[in-house]
Amino acid sequence: MAISDPGSPADDAGTDNADLGDAGTDDADLGDTRSDRAVGLADAIRDHVVHLAVVLAFLLYPPVNGVLLSSPLADETTAFLPGITFMIVVLYLGLFAMSFDFISGYTGYLSFGHAAFYGTGAYFVVLAANGQIPGIPGGTPFMITLLLGAVLAGLLALVIGAVSFRLTGVYFAMITLGFAQVIYELIRSWGYVSSNPTEGATVSGDGLAIGVPYVDALSFRVGRLTGDSVQNLLGLGIDVSATVVSYYALGAVVVVSYFAMQRILHSPFGRVMVAIRENEERARAVGYSTYWFKMAAFAISGFFGAIAGGIFAAYSRSVSPDNSYFFLVTADALITTIIGGFGTLAGPLYGTTFHQWLEDVLSTESGGLATYLREGLPEAVLDAELFGVSLELVVNTAVDGRAPLYLGIVFVLFVLFVPNGILGTVRDRLGGTVGKRLPERLRRYRR
């Protein structure tokens, strides 16, 4: 019987061949992994193509608006497209409306006192900038004070929720409204926040900067008068005004906040929130502690509501009880959420955009429809009478300064005929979320 030498060339060759076979297997596994990653990346891009399109539209709006204002369509642009300052309002009010929808649209608990968190974030950053918050020096970067104010609002939400979530339905809505009104009355009579608390507080000193704390090159001050402007951008000879820089800086905060909330809603935690909205008793029966899930959702909602209030205060450099803590601030969020669609998260941003656009068109502060008609139509047309009434009188009576009237009519029409809002109705027509269904529809039409 022959005895094999363990060190013989034949055995080495066999071993090498085996190793070679293992290497081939590893290469195949690696190829499969890369293929899976490529497919996953393609799916992620497809699912977020609508998000990318919306972000791109917001990015391109200032330059497109500037080109139109310098074109023969300047008058029409001024009359029918909102200015950059109006779009900045869309950003922070849209974020506030999304934070409102986070709790009200996804758990079914309507918070009428959401302005308490918006005002807390706004007042905190103003008082912190003025060195009035104990333990926080006056020169603390805005991004840090913004997060601290949001954490404080989240804690306030836990305090309010600890009492409010003992109730449901209209009783929950009313008790949250009661808490907000108590805080509103406290702030407007608290001499510590300002020498005239009814009028509010103002930031003293330089503008508040959005970006990376303690890194000046990656931070941009915001505000009409105190914001940073950019000269000769990237050596292209393009100048960016302080208003446009503020628009992009605030927009970055809104985009990050939106995707953070969306990530939470698409997690198991978010699915429990929806389960609470659909049938809280069943969610409790299967073992979920719905009370603590609601508390956590309320705290997260308050956190992002305070972020919205903080960037509002940073841009306006002032805050008052009436534009932050007053219950009508929550009413605006409710209206825009209904217009955009409850339980859609992005819908309130679209609702805010529509609401602000309509208000801008119907107002005369920066052009508007009435100004466009008076200045664009020939005098003979304006003086023409029908049944003894001139067109100019109709414009002055029925259009000029009537924005609240038509906004109310539009709101009633949405409630009656588009109860699911803009985005909710689009989702119903597509049979699912826009990000998933729209690419399928487009591929179907290309065939």
Q: Are the C-beta atoms of residues 240 and 230 closer than 8 Å to each other?
A: yes
Query: Hey, is 209 helix, strand or coil?
Result: strand
- Can you state the angle between helices 369-376 and 347-362, rounded to 10 degrees? 40
Share of the chain above pLDDT 70, in %: 87
Residue 211 in this model has a pLDDT that exceeds 80: yes
Query: Residue 211 pairs with which residues in a beta bridge?
Result: 219
Model confidence over 82-133: pLDDT tens digits? 889 999 999 999 999 999 999 999 999 999 999 999 999 999 999 999 999 9
Q: Is the dihedral of CA 267, 296, 350, 56 positive or negative?
A: negative
Beta strands 389-390 and 385-386, pairing class: antiparallel
Question: Which tokens hold the place of 268?
Answer: 């198991």
Share of the chain above pLDDT 90, in %: 60
Per-residue pLDDT band for 245 (boundaries 50, 70, 90) equals very high
CA angle in degrees (0–180, nearest 5) for 206-208-214: 100
Model confidence over 27-38: pLDDT tens digits? 555 555 656 565
Distances in Å between the Cα of 64 and the Cα atoms of 73, 77, 85, 220, 249 are: 12, 10, 15, 22, 18
| Rounded average pLDDT over 43-62 | 81
Residue 56 in this model has a pLDDT that exceeds 90: yes
Model confidence over 411-428: pLDDT tens digits? 999 999 999 999 999 888
Model confidence over 359-398: pLDDT tens digits? 888 876 557 788 888 888 888 888 888 777 888 888 888 8
Cα 34 to Cα 87: distance, rounded to the nearest angstrom: 42
Cα 64 to Cα 84: distance, rounded to the nearest angstrom: 11
Number of neighbouring beta carbons within 10 Å of residue 319 = 30
- Say what the pLDDT of residue 15 is: 46
Per-residue pLDDT band for 9 (boundaries 50, 70, 90) equals very low
Per-residue pLDDT band for 291 (boundaries 50, 70, 90) equals very high
* Average pLDDT along the chain: 86
* Greatest C-alpha distance within the chain: 126
Residues 6+ apart with CB under 8 A from 143: 209, 210, 211, 212, 213, 219
- Say what the pLDDT of residue 446 is: 57
